[in-house]
Structure 1
Amino acid sequence: MRENIVVVGVDNSDTAFRAAEAAAEIAIAFGARLHVVSAFEDDRTEVYGVGSDKWIESGATFAERVAKKVASDLTWPEGREEISYIAARGKPADAIIDEAERVQARLVVVGNRRMQGLGRILGSIANTVAHGADCDVYIVNTVGEGD
């Protein structure tokens, strides 16, 4: 049986945050948990440093930081279970679909960025998720809002 979980796919864009805000509103309205997913495709790492201070940044680290920031910036009622977040390996649409299946989500929320013009013909994350998810998908209209 599916749990009452809403999954939202995010990247580091304002439009993805608007989709996450809509997902949070839906989760709150239906008493669902919210699970924020940010994808990374490879294990490439970069080393940064200043003097003797060094740190390593990987795709997974960056994606987790993005998901955590989105989760922490959302408005969420006190006393409710915290929003969960994860960095998921794979192309964005595949990672979102796989994570939704893993947590047995009832709903996946994505923004409609790249669903216009040539993107509509060649495909988009929202289009791929809508056709590949084994649960309901809500595509948030994030286009034209200051973009």
Structure 2
Amino acid sequence: MSHYKKLIIAVDLSEDSAKVAECARNLAAGSDAELHLIHVIEPLSFAYGGDIPMDFSGIQDEIHQQAVQQLTRFGEIYHIGPERQHIVLGRPEVEIHSKAKEIGADLIVVGSHGRYGLALLMGSTANGVLHGANCDVLAVRVGSNS
């Protein structure tokens, strides 16, 4: 089995994120691999198509602050320092690819709910990350069917 040197763990900060992080930590154990965390915040304008004449900046700022607090706590649990915690704004698959390339990750670890059919077509972050990644991707089964 390959020994990965730099892993990036994509988390949505739900309770499923712990399972994804545990899997990554187990892979990294013994190989002195560097762990990074990434959480992607999708702009509210994506969800609403950008056609609503409202200023979402205050809400978006609050979402960002909550994400910083949660990711900081998550990083403390898994001994991943602030310099290796990344919160970015954008489309998850695009931003995860970009950050993985930027830091030179050789493995992206992401949770997957194992969706299929219409649910998969409607958008799966794990599927989006898998397609187009420049490194290996490990999809960890999470959710009620795990």
Using the size of structure 2 for normalisation, the TM-score is: 0.75
Given the superposition, is the C-alpha separation of residues 30 and 118 from structure 1 closer, same or farther in structure 2, using an over 3 Å criterion?
Answer: farther
Structure 2: which 5+ runs fail to align? 44-55
Give 1:111's aligned residue: 111
CA RMSD across the alignment: 2.6
Given the superposition, is the C-alpha separation of residues 13 and 116 from structure 1 closer, same or farther in structure 2, using an over 3 Å criterion?
Answer: farther
Aligned-residue offset at 1:44: 2.5
Q: Distance in 2 between matches of 1:90 and 1:104?
A: 20
Count matched residues: 130
Q: Does the Cα contact within 8 Å between 1:38 and 1:66 map onto a contact in 2?
A: no
Given the superposition, is the C-alpha separation of residues 29 and 40 from structure 1 closer, same or farther in structure 2, using an over 3 Å criterion?
Answer: same
Give 1:144's aligned residue: 144
Q: Could you say what secondary structure the match of 1:58 adopts?
A: helix
Given the superposition, is the C-alpha separation of residues 121 and 68 from structure 1 closer, same or farther in structure 2, using an over 3 Å criterion?
Answer: same
Give 2:75's aligned residue: 71
Using the size of structure 1 for normalisation, the TM-score is: 0.74
Give 1:61's aligned residue: 65
Matched, 1:87 2:90: no
Give 1:51's aligned residue: none
Given the superposition, is the C-alpha separation of residues 30 and 72 from structure 1 closer, same or farther in structure 2, using an over 3 Å criterion?
Answer: same
Q: Could you say what secondary structure the match of 1:12 adopts?
A: coil
Q: Does the Cα contact within 8 Å between 2:108 and 2:138 map onto a contact in 1?
A: yes
Identity rate of aligned residues, in percent?
Answer: 27
Structure 1: which 5+ runs fail to align? 47-55
Matched, 1:26 2:30: no
